[in-house]
Amino acid sequence: MQGLADGYFVIPYTIGNYLASTKLPKVEREGQDFKRSETEAGERTRRLVGNKGKRTATSFHRELGKLLWENCGMARNATGLKAAIERIPQLREEFWRQVLVPGSGSELNQSLEYAGRVADFMEFGELLCRDALERKESCGCHFREEFQTEEGEAKRNDADFAHVAVWEHRGEGKEPVRHQEPLTFENVHLAQRSYK
């Protein structure tokens, strides 16, 4: 969690410094992937600034944050995760109908930038909940209430979760697909932790 929080503030400076100090190859604007991405970005910008909703991006950000804090925080359970997975698409739909972004997309517009991030957070938040629900164990600091030892410690499930997983985005309104690859531990042996 600390890495995510710090990354939110650090990455803009890190990326900016990298881009300012690195000679990058020229981006060809003629390819169909570039044109498609450019068109999608333009449509998204027009959609955000053209919307005449009644709520700020900040209000949606706070509502999403509270929802995730309560249902997908350090301690979570299947009931809360399912509730969040059900609510986030509703909140996302309301965001795209009701968000108000002042200004235009033809100039520097921090409100537009922020609204774009909140839209991305909706996608990311739902994916976090899906992944947490799929992981039927307690691992590290992420505690699934249903998976604990008799002493209340995090209970691992190495038989089913000794793998790395990644989610594939399949497009707006479509469920993502989870891919996994097994991990092999040769020098480090998996073990149940005890903090007592």
**Beta-ladder partners of 143:** 75
Residue 99: how many other CB atoms lie within 10 Å: 22
Q: Where are the domains of the chain?
A: 43-182
Average model confidence (pLDDT) across the chain: 90
Kindly report whether the global pTM for this prediction surpasses the value 0.85.
no
Q: How confident is the model at residue 153 (pLDDT cuts 50, 70, 90)?
A: confident
pLDDT in tens, 11-48: 778 888 888 899 988 888 888 989 999 999 999 999 99
Task: Give the alpha-carbon dihedral of 130, 86, 118, 56, to 10 degrees.
Answer: -170
CA 126 centroid distance within chain: 7
**Beta-ladder partners of 167:** 178
Q: How confident is the model at residue 182 (pLDDT cuts 50, 70, 90)?
A: very high
The Cα–Cα gap between 17 and 43 comes to 29
Eight-class DSSP state of 25? P
Pick the CATH number of 43-182 from 1.10.3210.10, 3.30.1330.40, 3.40.50.150, 1.20.58.100: 1.20.58.100
Residue 188 corresponds to which tokens in the numbers above? 């480090």
Beta-strand runs (E) in 98-188:
143-144, 163-168, 177-182
Residue with tokens 């993502």: 176
Q: Which of 2-11, 29-38, 64-73, 121-130 has the lowest mean pLDDT?
A: 2-11
Supply φ then ψ for residue 184, to 5 degrees.
Answer: -115, 125
